[in-house]
Structure 1
Amino acid sequence: MVEFCGEEHVIPPSESFTIGRDGDLSVDPDNSYLHRRLIELGWDAGFWWITNVGSRLSVTVSGEVGSLQSVIGPGARLPVVLPECSMLFTAGPTTYEVNLAAQVPVFDAVHQESSELGEVTLGAVVLTDSQFRLVLGLCENVLRRIGSGPADVPTNVAVAKRLGWSITTFNRKLDNVCDKFDRAGVKGLRGGPGRNAVGRRARLVEYAVAARIVRPEHLPLLDQRIVGEE
């Protein structure tokens, strides 16, 4: 079953199902940055498959408890092996989340949640409190709208103002955060030719939300002010 903004679709194994600006599920017909068809779901060899049929955009697939995360580039596909997963993708300044539930799960996920909201560790990546709040600020719109529709990725200026920082401080911290995740193997966060600011922010948002580095219950931390943070 596919779910987006309360709209549900049940797909029989004999049929394929497309998602995009003009697919079987039209997530945003007015967003010209979004492919007419970006995702195709289909049954093959005993699995449901998520195929990226677009030419430019990537799709981030996240397990229901953040235990699985994979990025599907154009032309690639991924089998659905968990009972529930989310598909996140960004077109222009807007991020979308579409949920998928498999009728015949292959694996069950086991996940341990941490009760602490401070320092966060993911593999070799450790975020300071201010770096964590930066990521949270970038993800705020998506976290507030999870399951209810698309959300715009905020600008650097907007997040800097939200956190009470200068834009210089924000940009420096963003560079540090992206460098940390890039060294840990997260793709799409390194600057350079062909990598614009919106694309880098969007990739960081997709990754942080999909990996559950930030969650809705963390949002009150944005209203805190940390002495000496700048």
Structure 2
Amino acid sequence: MTSDATWTESLPTVDPDRPEELVLDFSGEVHRIAPDETFVVGRGGDLDIDDNPYLHRRFVVLARENGLWWIANEGSRLSATLTDGDGLVQSRLAPGARMPLVFPRVILTFSAGPTTYEIDLITAGEDHFAGIEGARQSTGQTTIGVTPMTRSQLLLILALSEPVLRRAGTGAAEIPSSQAAAARLGWSITKFNRKLDNVCEKLDRVGVRGLRGGRAEGAASNRRTALVEHAVSTLMVTAEDLPMLDDELAANRAAAAPVTTAPTKVGGAAKGAGADRA
């Protein structure tokens, strides 16, 4: 493997002099992969990801074949999600599966343990799909696809997704616990868990995987991670929505604050807290 690795703060593009290369961007770490190379993502791969014991040493493999770049899942337990750059098309890459990269930008999202990763894969896109017709999912709305979501349900998803969204679109982030996410919103843990159950049930009914399992340790962490992976990769929530979290927390703190009244004067003497003291 001899791909060039550089660092950037903006989304890179394919070098016009090397139109067949594949550009991989992981949190600003950019690899330019030549068409005769194979690139491995995993704990022991060409991409230097954290030493995460939940991540396969050899997870996904990128290689060019018959004029197309292909991605293959060589792991035995983990799945990955592939989304086009506009968030309109999504595919799940199960263990043992492979598929071509047919859009100029594909967002690769996967979770290993409590950590979710996001990687941009960029090609020239010539002779392939340049895009797809359809309205992009707008942020801050109450629906995702045909599944209705209330504002409070979207706030719950946003609180769990906040660390990932603050990584500027790429990289890795820890998913918060239910207690931490509830505190971020100013909710009780009972309210948070009830709404989390409702959200997972709704999305499970329309085919989103990994949301069953209840609140047992391990199962609860897995479903939060699966929820964030789905929400971020489908643009259900984006970084533009993050101010909603501060608004919700401020509103709940104000509602919980004790109400104080100013003392009133009766016969020239103040009557109120401490007014009767000699």
TM-score of the pair, normalised by structure 1: 0.91
Query: Aligned residue for 1:164?
Result: 186
SS of 2:197 mapped into structure 1: helix
Q: Tell me which moved more, 128-137 or 140-149.
A: 140-149
Against the structure 1 CA distance between its residues 194 and 167, is the aligned structure 2 distance closer, same or farther, given a 3 Å change threshold? closer
Greater RCO between the two (CA within 8 Å, min separation 6)? 1
Against the structure 1 CA distance between its residues 25 and 224, is the aligned structure 2 distance closer, same or farther, given a 3 Å change threshold? same
Give the counterpart of 1:101 among 91, 98, 122: 122
Give the counterpart of 1:50 among 56, 71, 76: 71
One-letter amino acid of the structure 1 residue matched with residue 25 of structure 2: E
Structure 1 gap ranges (5+): none
Aligned mates of 1:195, 1:85 — CA distance in 2:
30
Aligned mates of 1:116, 1:12 — CA distance in 2:
37
CA-based RMSD of the aligned residues comes to: 2.1
Q: Is the 8 A contact 1:139 1:205 kept in 2?
A: yes
Aligned pairs for 1:79-118 (under 5 A) are 79-105=100-126, 106-109=128-131, 110=133, 112-113=135-136, 117-118=140-141
Query: Aligned residue for 1:26?
Result: 48
Aligned pairs for 1:74-153 (under 5 A) are 74-105=95-126, 106-109=128-131, 110=133, 112-113=135-136, 117-119=140-142, 121-147=143-169, 149-153=171-175
Aligned mates of 2:119, 2:44 — CA distance in 1:
15
- Determine if the alignment matches structure 1 residue 204 to structure 2 residue 227: yes
Structure 1 residue 133 displacement after superposition: 0.3
Aligned mates of 2:139, 2:222 — CA distance in 1:
30
Query: Aligned residue for 1:10?
Result: 32
Structure 1 residue 103 displacement after superposition: 2.4
Structure 1 residue 194 displacement after superposition: 11
Aligned mates of 1:195, 1:170 — CA distance in 2:
18
Q: Is the 8 A contact 1:65 1:111 kept in 2?
A: no
TM-score of the pair, normalised by structure 2: 0.76
SS of 1:10 mapped into structure 2: strand
- Percentage of identical aligned residues: 50
Q: Is the 8 A contact 2:87 2:136 kept in 1?
A: no
Structure 1 residue 80 displacement after superposition: 0.5
Against the structure 1 CA distance between its residues 189 and 20, is the aligned structure 2 distance closer, same or farther, given a 3 Å change threshold? same
Q: Tell me which moved more, 156-165 or 145-154.
A: 145-154
Deviations 1:20-77 (A, max 9, x none): 111011211x211111111100112332111111111111111111012111111111
Q: Is the 8 A contact 2:62 2:71 kept in 1?
A: yes
Query: Aligned residue for 2:196?
Result: 174
One-letter amino acid of the structure 2 residue matched with residue 145 of structure 1: R
Give the counterpart of 1:188 among 210, 222, 234: 210
Structure 1 residue 216 displacement after superposition: 0.4
Structure 2 gap ranges (5+): 1-22, 256-278
Structure 1 residue 148 displacement after superposition: 5.2
Deviations 1:148-196 (A, max 9, x none): 5310011001001111111111111001001111111111112269971
Aligned mates of 2:96, 2:59 — CA distance in 1:
10
Q: Is the 8 A contact 2:139 2:236 kept in 1?
A: no
Against the structure 1 CA distance between its residues 42 and 34, is the aligned structure 2 distance closer, same or farther, given a 3 Å change threshold? same
Give the counterpart of 1:37 among 51, 55, 58: 58
Give the counterpart of 1:222 among 230, 240, 245: 245
**Structure of larger gyration radius:** 2
Structure 1 residue 104 displacement after superposition: 3.2
